[in-house]
Structure 1
Amino acid sequence: MSKYKWKLSNETYEFIKGEVIHIFEKYSIKCIPVSGFEIASKMKLSLLPYSSLSKKKLEAAMTVSRDGFFIEFDGRECIYYNDIERCYKRQNWTILHEIGHIVLDHSGYGELEEDEANFFAKYAIAPPVLVHKVGAKGPHDIYEIFDISFEASIYSFEYYCSWKAHYNMTKRLTAYEKRLLALYSASIQ
């Protein structure tokens, strides 16, 4: 996960958060850790690991991305992901990132689209309101509970702290945060 080169607009952040929650509700995603594999399956996306590719196709895939990518052909959306060089946590992040491209209806891979897909994955993998609900006290708790890389858990904790400061000032959850908590109410006590 990289730091964003530029800041998205507040409207864009809010839109992406709403899209994440919409996907969680639509496909009944209510378990922690969040699984990109589960979401992709429920969205009926084809997941193709690099290990299943011929040598020639693997070389082509690695040229496109060392992590993964999505393509659409014959009306099917397919996510290719690197299961050879990347651990499960990175594969899961990559799949969520690619789902972000699909959900946000991206037609290219420019900096803006990459930043939006990165934020989609970041928000989906550890939404601050859920980090708060599980009582995470630091990056290590997020690492353990949300099953993400330690680097991602540091970014998630920084984002959570920013969210918490805003929440402490307003004492209000957004409508989508309330919907997310309702969706997870049975699995988080």
Structure 2
Amino acid sequence: MSLTLKETPITGMVLVQGQPFRDRRGFFYRAFCDQQLASVLGGRIIRQINISQTMEIGAIRGLHFQTPPATEMKLVRCLRGRVWDVVVDLREGSKTFLEWHGVELEPNASIMVVIPEGCAHGFQVLETGSELLYLHTAPYTPTAEGGLRYNDPRLGISWPLVPTDLSQRDQTHPLLADEFSGISL
């Protein structure tokens, strides 16, 4: 059972594809293997694992990130339902600075998204009760927490549905200032 890596337009954002073995009982696939992901992890280890559940179709969570010295790589997989997953490059000097890339995640596709340090992450729920599994290379650090507004005109993210439910925090994240030069890693 191997994992296949596919680059995306965002530098360092990788899609990891599991190869399901299917039979009459269902399926089995390798979801994570530190040896097969060594080139992506670059010596990082998983420090925290979280699961989120979002009930309402159209709900958006994000766009979230952590700043230095608590930047983190995230590996995100959909366990139930279906979501539109978005990554925004905030890295100072990156050739894909302020670009975003979205991908649909759902369990049968066996895809995990690798979100590099210095990138914001968010998603919109496309099916009721969607659940995501997050693997983090750094623990949650409230003092390093950052966020961007989901509808920031400077980003121009094309969400597939009209937003229906956002937390108070996600509604009030700041818009990017014209002088924003990125996160220095």
* TM-score w.r.t. length of structure 2: 0.23
Higher helix residue share? 1
* TM-score w.r.t. length of structure 1: 0.22
Structure of higher RCO (CA pairs closer than 8 Å, 6+ residues apart): 2
